[in-house]
A and B are shown apart, each in its own frame.
Chain A
Amino acid sequence: MTTLQDGRSSRPHGPDVRPTSGRRPGAPAARLRQIGWHALIIGTLALLLYPVVWLLATSIKPTDEILSSLSLLPSRLAPENYTAALDGIAGIGVWQFFGNSMIVAVGSVIGNLVSCALAAYAFARLRFRLRGPLFAFTLLTIMLPYHVVLIPQYTIFQKLDLVGTFVPLILPKLLATDAFFVFLMVQFIRGLPRELDDAAEIDGCGPVLTFRYVILPLLKPALVTTAIFTFIWTWNDFFSQLVYLNDPESYTVPLALRLFIDQTSESAFGPMFAMSVLSIVPVMLFFLAFQRYLVEGIATSGLKG
C-alpha cells in the first residue's frame, strides 16, 4: 500500500509528508515536479514584485523615459533624481521630513510598548471585578473604525492647541488605544506558566516586581513584534498625519511625498520616485532584519498587513 501511495504524486493539499523510506532520491518525476513548483512560484513572485522593481528602476531613469518606456533599464543613469529629492521640496530639506517621521514612529513605538504591556499584564494576570467586560470592550475596539472617534478627538486637540504638533499622533499610543497589541500581549502572557508568578510571589514579589522581573523579560518576543509593526504602520500611516499636520515644516515623509502630486509638471517625476524609494528604505530594512518576527507575528495573532 505504501508503494502505491508513493507512486502517486504528493498529496496536493496537505503538507508534504511522504515517508522518507519510500522516497527514491532523484526520482525523475518527483524532481521534475519540484522544479515545476519552484518555477511556478518564482514566476508568480516576479509578477508580484514587478511594481517594486519598476519603482527602483524608474527612480534612476531620466525624466523623459519614466512614463512610457516599458524597459526597466534606463538608457542612462540619472542620479540627479536623487540629488533633487535630497534637496527636498517646498524649501524644506528631505532630512526634516525623515526626522519628523522618525519622531512620530519612535514615539509611537515607545508608547505602545509601555502602555500595552502594562494593560496586558493586568488583563492576563491580575484579578479585578471588571476584567471580563473591560477586556471584551478592548476586543471590540479592534473593529471600531477610527473615523467614529476622529472628529471629537480632533476637537479636543484643537481646543488644547495641539493640532499641528506630533502630540495627537503619539499620545493615543501612550494611552494603549492600539487594542491589537494589548490583545497580542495578553495572549502571550496567558501562555507563560503561572508557576513563575507563584514562585515570585512566594519570594515576596508583589505584582509590580513580578511584572518587572518575571513577565517583562519573558514578554520580549511579543514586545519585538509590537515594536516592528508599530514602527512600520506608523511610518506608512497617511490619514491621521494628513489630518493633524498642517505646516510643511512638520510634514512627515508620506505628506511630503504627496506634495509631489500637486506639482503637475512632469519634471517632478524623477525626484518623486527617488524620494519614494527613500521612503520605503526603513520599511525594507525592518523587513529584511525581522522578517521572521513579522511573519510569525501575523501567523499567530492575525495582525493586519
Chain B
Amino acid sequence: MTTGTLHRPPPRPATPGDGATPARPRNRRNQPGIAYLFLSPWVCGALLLTVGPMLASLYLSFTDYDLFTSPEWVGLENYKRLFTDDARFLASAKVTAAYVLISVPLKLAAALTVALLLNRNRRGQGFYRSAFYAPSLLGTGVAIALVWRAMFTDSGVVDSATGVFGWDTGGWINEPDYALYVLIILAIWQFGAPMVIFLAGLKQIPTELYDAAAVDGSGRWRTFRSVTLPMLSPIILFNLVLETIHAFQAFTPAFIVSGGRGGPSNSTLFYTLYLYERGFSQFRMGYASAMAWLLLLVIAIITAVFFGTSRRWVFYSGEDR
C-alpha cells in the first residue's frame, strides 16, 4: 500500500504563486487508514491494557475473586467491608492521607525556596541545578530506601546524632509516632524535580514586572506576593496535581523501610502497600480491585477540586480577571 502511494506522481507541479491557493495537497494526511496504522500499537495498548482492564477491575470490585476460581458476584460487599469491618484499611487510608497532606506541601515549599535561591544569573547555577535534581533520580530506587532504613534505625546515624543532645529515639523506624516521618523526609529529599519545573517557570516571568515593582518601591516580600506568586501559580497548580497523584501511589519506600509489613503498628501502612498485601499475598483480588477503584475515585476528586478551584487562585497572564 505504501509503495503504491510512493510511485504516484506529485499531484501537481509546484508553480510560483501556488502557495496562495488553498488547494495544497493535504489529502494523503487525511487518510484515517494510515493514521490508525501508526496508532495500532497505541490502540492495542489502550484497549487491552488500559480500558479493558479498567472495566474488568471495576467488575471484579463487586466480586469475590482469588485468581484461580472464577469470580463470584457479591455486590457492594467489598466496599461495605472496607469501611465497616477492616481496621487495617482505615489505618492505611489515614496513614496515606497524612503522608500526602504533610509531604506534598513541604516538598513543594522546599522546591520553591531553592528555586528562588537558585534563580540568579551567577556562575555555577547549571551545576547546582543538576546537583539538587540528583536525589529525584536516586530516591525512587530501593538502594536509597535501604539507606534511610539504616540511618533511622536503633542506634543508627540519626539516633546517635540526636543522642548527643540527650534525645534517645530508639530508632525512628521502630517508633509508631515517628516512623511515617522517615518516609516523609525521604519524599521531601526528592524536591529536585518540582524545583527544576519551578525554575523554568521563574525564568518565564518578564523582568519588566520586577522593574515596575521596584519603581513602585515594592519590597522583597511584596514583590514575591504580588509578582512572583501570581505569575508562578499555573506552575504551582501543575506541580501540586502531579506531586499529589504520585504521593498517593508511593510504595517502594514504605515497603523497604517497613520490611513489607507497614509496621510498626501500621504506622507506615501505605494504601498501595495494603492493596498489594490483599491482592498479591492473600489473593483477595476482588477486594484489592475495590481498593484500586476507591483510590482512582479519590485521586479524580482531588484533581477535579484542584482544577475547579484554580480559577480563584491561578493567574493566567493575558486573561482578564
Contact = CB atoms under 8 A, between A and B. Distances in A.
B299 A12 contact: no
Interface stretch (B86-94, B97-105, B250-258): B250-258
Give the size range of A's interface with the partner.
35 or more
Contact of A254 (B30, B141, B228): B141
A11 B120 CA distance: 9
Given A55-B143, A304-B242, A34 B122 contact: yes
A66 B160 CA distance: 12
B57 A305 contact: no
Interface stretch (B6-14, B73-81, B173-181, B313-321): B6-14
B131 A45 contact: yes
Contacts of A5: 214
Interface string A142-186: 011111111111111010000000000000101111000010000
Contacts of B255: 238, 242
Interface string B1-32: 01001101110001000000000111011111
Contacts of A55: 143-144, 147
Instruction: Label chain A's interface by main secondary structure.
Output: helix
Given A48-B135, A55-B147, A149-B54, A302 B116 contact: no
Interface residues of B, number: 123
A44 B114 CA distance: 9
Contact of A295 (B8, B133, B299): B133
Interface string A16-39: 110000000000000000100110
Nearest to B251: A239
B121 interface: yes
B53 A127 contact: no
B236 to A, nearest CB: 12
Q: Which 9 A-B pairs have the closest CB atoms?
A: A175-B45, A305-B193, A305-B136, A152-B53, A14-B210, A152-B56, A299-B200, A276-B143, A119-B42
Interface of B: 2, 5-6, 8-10, 14, 24-26, 28-32, 34-36, 38-42, 44-46, 48-50, 52-54, 56-57, 60, 67, 114, 116-122, 124, 128-144, 146-151, 153, 155-157, 160-161, 189-190, 192-194, 196-197, 199-200, 202-203, 205, 207, 210, 214, 220, 223-224, 227-228, 238-239, 241-242, 245-246, 248-249, 251-252, 255-256, 259, 272, 275-276, 279-280, 285, 288-289, 291-293, 295-296, 299-300, 303
17 contacts: A37-B117, A51-B189, A55-B147, A67-B153, A121-B38, A127-B32, A177-B46, A198-B24, A206-B2, A239-B272, A254-B252, A260-B146, A261-B146, A279-B143, A287-B130, A298-B197, A304-B242
